[in-house]
Amino acid sequence: MKYLLLLFLAVNLPFIVFSSPNNDSVRVDPSLGLDLSTRYIWRGMMLDNSAQFQPWAELSYKNFSAGVWGSYAMDGSYAEVDLYVAYQIKNFILTLTDYYTENENNLAEYDFFNFKNDKTNHAIELMASYRFSETIPITFTAGTFLYGFDKDAEGDNYYSTWVALAYDISVGEYDIQFHAGGTPSEGMYSDDAAVTSLGINLTKNIEITEKFSLPLTLDFTVNPTAEDVFLTALISF
């Protein structure tokens, strides 16, 4: 799976080499940001209960994009770095993501360049998403882990699969999203087929000055299978 790193470099290198401010046909669009979150909730699971710094950066070229996203607990209890490449055709997006978690209290515990299936701390997921239209603002997402630490007690791959629906609307100053997700089989999300995430999030731009504002998102999520409930706040820079 070291080829994933080569793939990431292969996608980014042409962006860097061929980008030119005088040639829009080969212009690469960079973007970056930082989110601050009160905790790390992902697909109905609490990955860490500490406040998180979540930096990200992305390069896009025509229908292609590649980037890196991370999540670091403020108390050092959690660290994650994900690499991804994506291709978009109209409303359809195909994404390959390498999820990697690190023990920052013992960096020698995991080797980032170890992709041996029985020892790696990477997990590779292939995901497809489709947004119907602006008039029907529903997004369908499905993703399956193909390789890595997604394993059962015997060490066999679960091939954990996630399916989700999201519905987006705007009401006044608020952007609202209703979301639901679950799994069709046993895996990392549940011991059986189950709905593991139901929720709503609201986003509003908070005015700091007349010329500067920051988006604040509140997310309320229930995991009906685990009988858990989460309320998370996130602010984006």
What is the percent of the chain where pLDDT is above 90? 69
Selection from 141, 143, 138, 139 nearest residue 189 by Cα: 143
Question: Which secondary structure element, helix H or strand E, spans residue 173, and what is its range?
Answer: none
Looking at residue 161, its pLDDT comes to 97
Q: What is the pLDDT confidence band of residue 19, given thresholds at 50, 70 and 90?
A: very low
Q: pTM, whole model, 2 decimals? A: 0.84
Q: How many CB atoms are closer than 10 A to CB 215?
A: 14
As a whole number, mean pLDDT of residues 215-233 equals 96
Tokens 């690499």 correspond to: 83
pLDDT digits (tens, 9 = 90+) for 177-186: 999 999 999 9
DSSP states of 99-134: EEE--TT-GGG--TT---TTT--EEEEEEEEEE--S
Q: Is the pLDDT of residue 24 over 60?
A: no
Query: Could you write out the DSSP letters of every residue in 29-61?
Result: EEEEEEEEESSEEETTEEEESS-EEEEEEEEEE
Higher pLDDT, 208 or 166: 166
- The phi and psi torsions of 9 (rounded to 5 degrees) equal -65, -40
User: Which neighbouring-strand residues pair with 158?
Assistant: none
- In 10 A of CB 226, how many CB atoms? 15
Mean pLDDT value across residues 137-162: 92
pLDDT computed for residue 197 by the predictor: 97
Domain boundaries, the chain: 2-176
Residue identified by tokens 């990697």 is 100
Please report which confidence band the pLDDT of residue 211 belongs to, taking 50, 70 and 90 as the band edges.
confident
Question: What pLDDT is stored for residue 17 in this prediction?
Answer: 46
Average pLDDT over residues 159-168: 96
Q: Which helix (H) or strand (E) holds 19?
A: none
Question: Of 33, 2, 6, 29, whose CA–CA distance to 16 is shortest?
Answer: 29
What's the chain's average pLDDT? 88
